[in-house]
Amino acid sequence: MNTKGHKSIAFGELRRLLVGPEQTEIVQLKERLADPELLVKDVSEVLPEAIILRSSRDKKIAKALEPTIEEAIRASVKKDRRALADALFPVMAPAIRKVISSIILKMIQSLNQALEHSFSIQGLKWRLEALRTGKPFGEIVLLHTLIYQVEQVFLIHRNTGLVLQHVTARRVAAQDPDLVSSMLTAIQDFLQDSFGVERGEPLEALRIGDRSVLVEQGPQATLAGVIRGTPPADFQVILRETLDDIHLKQIGALESFDGDATPFEPIRSQLEDCLQSQHKQKKRKTSPLLFILLGAVVFLMGIWLFDFIRDYQRWAHYVERLRTEPGIVVTTIEKRSGKKYISGLRDPLASEPAKMLKEASLEPEKVIFNWEPYQSLYPKFQLTRIKGLLRTPETIRLKFQDGILHADGSASYQWIVEARRLVKSIPGITHFDEEKIIHIELRDMEIIRERIEKQFLLFRTNEAEIAPGQQNTIQDLVANTKRLCSLAQVLGKNARIEIVGHTDNTGSEETNMKLSRERAHNVLSILTSKGFKEENFTTVGVGPKEPLLEEATEINRESIRRVDFKVTLTDKPKEGVVRP
């Protein structure tokens, strides 16, 4: 046992010596990989070099980070715009300051003379003039002190750089025109080579001491003016117009120029017109043109202001009308990218907002609507929907008030029954008032009833057969009877017709009673032969009792020898029939 234990200890010591360090490192490596903090620390030490190395190979890192950076910037702006502004300040501020400094420098140069004369006698005079004319003091100073002179004008061929024409003002020492042309070309090349100016970018101005060179370039030629002092702002326009006119008149000569400048002699006078100068001006009255221009500016500003206020008021009135319009609920109104977005709820029966927009004289293409449908409880809309559901005929007038649907007019019995059924399923209706509805079938049945009771058939003396010539009366009687039975069937009623036979007072009472019953029975036979059921009729003979004779004349007797009718309408006893 001791030997085995000794060997085990020796083997363990040997294993420790051979693989102990590696096992320790493996354990430490596992612990390092399992520890997030150590893993993050290790990645952070190589991450910058990895990004630089990958970025030098392709743009996948930039593409992968682009959405994250954009979202981070967007979240930063939403959270705190000031932080992003502070971060961009070191970059944007110098550029903004440079632009502002350039503008301020020009203003200082223009007002420098004004400051020099502010406290002099001449300056006081100019201040009084400024008060009198309403112009700024600086403008008055410039009018009295601005001096300039165009000393030389060069017309240079653009492709070859040769001088086509050259004019010089009086009492000005002229320079070699070819030398000046070469100088301008060399300066242009120097700027392009030294400062990265693109080819074709024109050299517009050059200032040396109290002289400046204004350059205007065209497709075939360049016009340059050497000026002492500060020229007015419109002098550049004069050069441009002159150069445009030269191109218009001499385009052929410019394109075919081969070194001979003789064809350009006629334009010398145009170049001499550019040799302008300005000296100290004497006091003079304000030009009416200034007032005209000022008035035009004020007028245009007034028109713009009027349109702005008018459009603002129109929009305000439109929004107010939209908010108060039945069936429309405005939830949001936003303005994005020059367009207005209106969202909300709209009943399909409500007025069309786009049509209302045209009525308000607003531009429909600048307004975007987003409406969700819903059903308004506005009574007018509810009544319209009820009319559609009930299929209301034109003869019926409906009124919906306090949950009660009032109906007035005339309608068929079938529509009334259907309306009674449908109103029970329409939300909001608690009662259907149909008292003022006239049933068309009842009205028609009463009319038919009156027609039947006014009809009669005549007979000869002591005869039970109908007198000849009454076929039309029989046809009308049959048609009216059929119509009466049909209407009674629809309305759930029983229609019974009593056939009453009459005689005159000639003969015995017993004979007349028998004759009157025979006459009534013969008429019943005629009706049953036309398809009517005998059970719908009753016959009775009254002899000469009805009507009573006042005078025993032949005419009275003829009108009394007849059969007439009485109609009786009763409800059917059958259960389940809906009665009007």
What pLDDT digit, counting tens, does each position of 301-313 carry? 888 888 888 888 8
Q: What is the CATH number of the domain that holds 175?
A: 3.30.450.70
For the chain, what's the residue count?
A: 580
- Tell me, yes or no, whether 151 and 236 share the same domain: yes
- Tell me, yes or no, whether 395 and 418 share the same domain: yes
CA distances from 12 to 20, 24, 25, 475, 538 (A): 10, 15, 18, 136, 135
- Tell me, yes or no, whether 459 and 495 share the same domain: yes
In a domain, 523, yes or no: yes
> How much is the CA Rg of the chain, to the nearest whole Å?
57
- Tell me, yes or no, whether 204 and 153 share the same domain: yes
Average confidence (pLDDT) over 477-486 = 88
448 vs 478: CA distance, rounded Å: 11
The conformation of residue 364, written as its DSSP 8-state character, comes to G
pLDDT at 556: 64
Of residues 158 and 538, the one with the higher pLDDT is 538
Indicate the pLDDT class of residue 352, thresholds 50, 70 and 90: confident
Closest CA relative to residue 458, chosen from 564, 549, 539: 564
- Tell me, yes or no, whether 240 and 193 share the same domain: yes
In a domain, 83, yes or no: no
pLDDT at 429: 81
Q: Which of 92-101, 184-193, 279-288, 520-529 has the lowest mean pLDDT?
A: 92-101
Mapped onto helix, strand or coil, the DSSP state of residue 349 is coil
Average confidence (pLDDT) over 456-472 = 89
Indicate the pLDDT class of residue 579, thresholds 50, 70 and 90: very low
Q: What is the DSSP string of 502-540?
A: ---SSS-HHHHHHHHHHHHHHHHHHHHHTT--GGGEEEE
The pTM of this model reads 0.34
- Tell me, yes or no, whether 339 and 411 share the same domain: no
In a domain, 125, yes or no: no
Indicate the pLDDT class of residue 89, thresholds 50, 70 and 90: very low
pLDDT at 293: 83
* H helix intervals, 35-59: 36-57
pLDDT at 93: 47
Tell me which residue range forms the domain holding 386.
Answer: 379-433
Average confidence (pLDDT) over 551-564 = 71
In a domain, 222, yes or no: yes
Q: What is the CATH number of the domain that holds 485?
A: 3.30.1330.60
Indicate the pLDDT class of residue 537, thresholds 50, 70 and 90: very high
How many structural domains compose the chain? 5
Helix (DSSP H) and strand (DSSP E) numbers for the chain: 17, 16
Cβ–Cβ under 8 Å, residues 390 and 422: yes
Exposed e or buried b for every residue in 172-208, given b needs 16+ CB within 10 A?
eeeeebeebbeebbeebeeeeeeeeeeeeeebeebee
Q: Which of 42-56, 250-264, 279-293 has the lowest mean pLDDT?
A: 279-293
Sheet strand arrangement including 396-401: 396-401, 404-411, 431-439
Mapped onto helix, strand or coil, the DSSP state of residue 341 is strand
In a domain, 86, yes or no: no
In a domain, 320, yes or no: yes
In a domain, 23, yes or no: yes
- Tell me, yes or no, whether 392 and 492 share the same domain: no
- Tell me, yes or no, whether 251 and 365 share the same domain: no
Q: Which of 92-96, 288-292, 335-339, 340-344 has the lowest mean pLDDT?
A: 92-96
Residue 500's φ and ψ, nearest 5 degrees, are -110, 120
Average confidence (pLDDT) over 5-9 = 62
pLDDT of 566 over the 90 cut: yes
Cβ–Cβ under 8 Å, residues 315 and 333: no
Residues 6+ apart with CB under 8 A from 270: 242, 245, 246
- Tell me, yes or no, whether 177 and 226 share the same domain: yes
- Tell me, yes or no, whether 460 and 365 share the same domain: no
pLDDT of 194 over the 80 cut: no
Q: Which of 176-190, 335-349, 402-416, 527-541 has the lowest mean pLDDT?
A: 176-190
- Tell me, yes or no, whether 353 and 384 share the same domain: no
Kindly state the percentage of the chain with pLDDT values over 90.
5
Instruction: Classify strands 339-346 and 328-336 as parallel, antiparallel or unpaired.
Output: antiparallel
pLDDT at 139: 56
In a domain, 304, yes or no: no
- Tell me, yes or no, whether 177 and 247 share the same domain: yes
Average confidence (pLDDT) over 169-176 = 69
Residues 6+ apart with CB under 8 A from 470: 457, 458
* pLDDT, the chain, mean: 76
pLDDT of 85 over the 70 cut: no
Q: What is the pLDDT of residues 384-435, one digit of tens each?
A: 888 788 788 888 888 887 788 888 887 777 787 788 888 887 877 888 887 7
pLDDT of 227 over the 60 cut: yes
